[in-house]
Amino acid sequence: MAKSSTLSAVTSEKKRVISQMIAIYCHKHHGTAGRTLCPECADMLAYACSRLDKCPRTPATHSSCRRCTIHCYSPAYRDKIKKIMRYVGPRMLFIHPISAIRHFISETRGE
C-alpha cells in the first residue's frame, strides 16, 4: 500500500472510532440518537477530524491522540475530549467490541 493511502486508512479508522465515542457520549448525556449529535458534540467531532487531517505524525509514529506527546488540541477541546474518553472508554468494549479491540491493539503497538 502506498504511504499516502496508508496514512489515509489510519486517519479514516481513527475518525470512525472517535465518531463512535462521541456518539456514545452524546446519546447518553445530551439525549440524541442514531447518527444525530447535539451542536456541541458535532463541533467536537468536526474539530477532532480537522486535527487528524492536519496530524503531523506519520503512520509509523501515529500514536493515539490519548498517548500523543504533541497534544495539538487547544486546552478547551482537550478538556472536552478527555471528559468524553473517561466516560466512553470503559463502555466501548460492550458497545463496539471490534472497534475497542482494534483501538486497544493500536494503542499497545504505539500506532
User: Which residues of the shown chain bind Zn ion in the complex (CB under 5 A)?
Assistant: 26, 30, 38, 41
Minimum separation from the CB atom of position 57 to ligand SF4 (A): 5
Q: Which of ligand SF4, Zn ion, none does residue 65 bind to, with CB < 5 to 8 Å depending on kind?
A: ligand SF4
Residue 85 near ligand SF4 by CB under 6 A: no
Near ligand SF4 by CB under 6 A, which window of 23-31, 38-46, 66-74, 93-101? 66-74
Contact (CB, 8 A) for 84 and 22: yes
- C-alpha grid cell for residue 56? 503531523
Sign of CA dihedral 57, 60, 64, 67: negative
> Angle of helix 3-30 relative to helix 75-95, nearest 10 degrees?
90
Indicate which of Zn ion, ligand SF4, none lies near residue 95 (CB less than 5 to 8 Å, by partner kind).
Answer: none
DSSP 69: S
Asked whether position 44 contacts ligand SF4 by CB under 6 A, the answer is: no
